[in-house]
Amino acid sequence: MKILLCSVFGPYGVDDEYGRRLNVMELFHNQVTREQGVFSLRMNHPSFGLYLIAENLEAPTVVLDFPSFDKFKKELENGYDYVGISFITSNFIKAKVMAEYIRERFPACKIILGGHGTGLPGIEEKIPCDYVCRGEGIKFFRELLGEENRELKHPSMKSALNRRIMGFPIAANAAVLIPGLGCVNACRFCATSHHFQKSYLGFLNSGPALFQTMSEIESKLSVNEFFVMDENFLKNRIRAEELIEEMEKHNKYFHLGVFSSAETINAVGVEFLVRLGIDFVWIGVESKREIYTKTRGVDLKATIKSLRNFGIQVLGSGILFLEHHDRQTIFEDIEYLIGLETDFVQFMELGPLPGTALYEDYAAADKLRLDVPFEDWHGQDKIWFKHEHFTRDETAEYTKLAFQMDYQKQGPSLLRLADTSLRGYRTVRSHSDSRIRGLTERLRKRCLDFYPVFPACRQSAENDKTRELLDFLELEYRKEFGAPSLAVRLGACVLSIFAYFERLKLKNKTFMYQPPTIRKEYRLNGSNTRSCRIHKQDDAQLRSAPLLSAHKAAVKEKSNLAAPN
């Protein structure tokens, strides 16, 4: 028995018959720092779920992440009994083409569909398949293959690759940690919560289990930072308290980036997050109106200010084109979110994705635009439902304007991060709690890492707020750390050169960084050893869509097949 687990093929973030330019395979550049030009943070995140499943099977398995279509075809020639394809709704066409190719060339191979795209009603009739994996994949595969249920083994892998700041490549410095899946808050728009049946499935359910897993990953990857893939990590307060106890008992610091609801942060307190080693927190603000219980009764601006004053980077996310939005209230929400003064702001259009309560409500009310192809269901261009106050073309304009307003009023997130680091350094160095005071050197180093950035930022500055932030930061950094050293000045020269060439690349509107193909083997040839090969992809080749002539007819049908059964 041999398994292939695969993400959809590239290129990504280009306009072709399979995808769209604004559906970028970069979380930050796509929907957070989108309109910040050369200052936008660039990175790719691997398809974590595929590796987690592969790590926990007994059958020989290969993960093929970010392949071209040609590499996908070539991999199939190695012979597989099952091929799993993970996709989201906007990548429906790509998953369909891949499945059709398997059916045509390898009819004995069993096709498994997985990911959020499986929420599409009648997906079994829309894409050729033998099985649909909805929800947690490890249990599904173990039952399918007749494998026993045993303790979960966590993969050791970096959380990001292809990282760049102003064009300069930055080594990955954090691992991914997956303590559990799903969220009990069950916001009506949330595809993740609904994908896991509006419940939470814990993998690492105690502080000691977390600490042991993190220690093992640290020894393998030489990192002590973790991007925590858990929809509301702090919701399990007992587990978090136990993790603090473990770290303090071993005199150990791990540093975490987490997702958390505002009400959870309010319940545990900001200093609790600091003691836990949290460096970054993603908060769902959604709207100025307290539509969701997770923000009710919370002074968000004060909470965010306190987080940043302790050096914790904050991303606040908001939703555009909610039911109450008209041409006035949408700007109230945009300005409210910007006014919270977070390091990052995410704007996402309200998106009734299949499988969510929002989708069911809009389908029942005949609000879905079923003439819109699935490739456009990604939340960064035009909405795919009927809104009382906005046309589809207008929604694209308002979304772009929201990002531009944030950039103009707050400056680039890169400089906001430098400000947060300096605030944190000044706060913790004299704190009465020795555990918190122990973060001083880390924050000092983080500040110094930003020092070479300032000259390149000034060279690339596009608005008054950027220049104002630079004036402030350069003055304050000199007060704390003295004049830039020779090494800092040399680093600034190098970064300025990279930034210059990055600006030239960005003038080409068709240019898009592409993630490298990752192929990872598990238990092949009867061995427990694993190998990882990363294939550099040719940017020029990736900018043109792969020729899939055998499937042209199927693609031309488009994907207006969204009507619920």
- DSSP string across 228-289: E--TTGGGSHHHHHHHHHHHHHTT---EEEEE--HHHHHHH-HHHHHHHTEEEEEEEEE-SS
**Helical axes 453-460 vs 486-507, angle rounded to 10°:** 30
Strand order through the sheet with 313-320: 175-177, 225-228, 255-259, 278-286, 313-320, 344-349
Residues 137 and 89 in one domain: yes
Asked if residue 266 belongs to a domain, the reply is no
Tokens of 513: 């960084």
Q: Is the pLDDT of residue 265 over 70?
A: yes
Do the beta carbons of residue 127 and residue 99 sit within 8 Å? yes
Query: How much of the chain, in percent, has pLDDT values that exceed 90?
Result: 83
The pLDDT score that the predictor gives to residue 195 is 86
Report d(CA 339, CA 303) in Å as an integer.
Answer: 13
Q: What beta strand segments (E) does 33-86 contain?
A: 42-44, 61-65, 82-86
Structural domain that includes position 463: 428-482
Whether residue 563 lies inside any domain: the answer is no
pLDDT for 554: 40
DSSP-H helix ranges across 411-564: 413-428, 434-437, 440-450, 453-460, 464-481, 486-507, 539-543, 552-556
Residue 36 predicted with pLDDT over 90:
yes
Tokens of 163: 């990282």
CA angle 487, 462, 425 (to 5 degrees): 45
Q: Which helix (H) or strand (E) holds 517?
A: strand 517-522
Q: Is the pLDDT of residue 258 over 90?
A: yes
Is 199 within a domain?
A: no
Tokens of 404: 């531009």
Spatial CA neighbour of 455 closest among 464, 466, 445: 466
pLDDT of residue 323: 94
| Alpha carbon distance 101, 551 (integer Å) | 8
Q: What are phi and psi of 313, to 5 degrees?
A: -75, 140
Give the mean model confidence (pLDDT) for residues 499-506: 95
Domain termination residue (choose one: 457, 482, 507):
482
Structural contact between residues 399 and 30, judged by C-beta atoms closer than 8 angstroms: no
Query: What pLDDT does residue 395 have?
Result: 97
Are 13 and 110 members of one domain?
A: yes
User: Does some domain include residue 82?
Assistant: yes
- 13 and 82 co-located in one domain: yes
Q: Is the pLDDT reported for residue 347 higher than 70?
A: yes
Verify that 132 and 66 share a domain, yes or no: yes
Among 482, 508, 528, identify where a domain stops: 482
- 451 and 527, same structural domain? no
CB contact at 8 A, 341 and 301: yes
Q: For residue 181, is pLDDT > 70?
A: yes
Flag whether pLDDT at 535 surpasses 60: no
In this prediction, residues 45-50 reach a mean pLDDT of 96
Number of domains in the chain: 2
**Are 440 and 543 in the same domain?**
no
Question: For the chain, how many residues are written?
Answer: 565
The answer to whether residue 140 is domain-embedded is yes
Average pLDDT over residues 279-300: 88
| 433 shares its domain with 522 | no
Helices 440-450 and 413-428, axial angle in degrees (round to 10): 150
Reported as a single tens digit per residue, the pLDDT across 478-501 is: 999 999 999 999 999 999 999 999
* pLDDT at 388 (0 to 100): 95
Confidence tier at 84 by pLDDT (50, 70, 90): very high
Same domain for 137 and 60: yes
**Bridge-partner residues for 348, per DSSP?**
319
**At 199, is the pLDDT very low, low, confident or very high (cuts 50, 70, 90)?**
confident
Q: What is the pLDDT of residue 526?
A: 59
Binned at pLDDT 50, 70 and 90, residue 276 comes out as very high
Report the CATH number at residue 138. 3.40.50
Tokens 């899939």 sit on residue: 548
Do the strands 131-133 and 110-114 form a parallel or antiparallel pair, or are they unpaired?
A: parallel
Q: Which two tokens stand for residue 505?
A: 């690349």
Residue 220 lies in a domain: no
Query: Do 55 and 108 sit in the same domain of this protein?
Result: yes
Do 144 and 70 lie in a common domain?
yes
Strand, helix or coil for residue 379: coil
Compute the distance between CA of residue 28 and CA of residue 34 in angstroms, rounded to an integer. 7
- pLDDT tens string 376-424: 999 999 999 999 999 999 999 999 999 999 999 999 999 999 999 999 9
User: Using CA atoms, how far apart are residues 232 and 262, in angstroms rounded to an integer?
Assistant: 10
**In sequence order, what are the beta bridge partners of 84?**
5, 112
Residues 527 and 477 in one domain: no
- Judge if pTM exceeds 0.85: yes
Answer yes or no: do 471 and 543 share one domain. no
- Domain-located, residue 359: no
Strands 61-65 and 42-44, how do they pair?
Answer: unpaired
- Please check whether residue 113 lies inside any domain of the structure: yes
- Report residue 336's pLDDT band, with 50, 70 and 90 as the boundaries: very high
Q: Average of pLDDT values for 222-228?
A: 96
Cβ 4 vs Cβ 83: under 8 Å: yes
Task: Tell me how far apart the alpha carbons of residues 289 and 110 are, in angstroms, rounded to a whole number.
Answer: 48
Residue 559 has pLDDT above 90, yes or no: no
Strands 517-522 and 3-7: unpaired
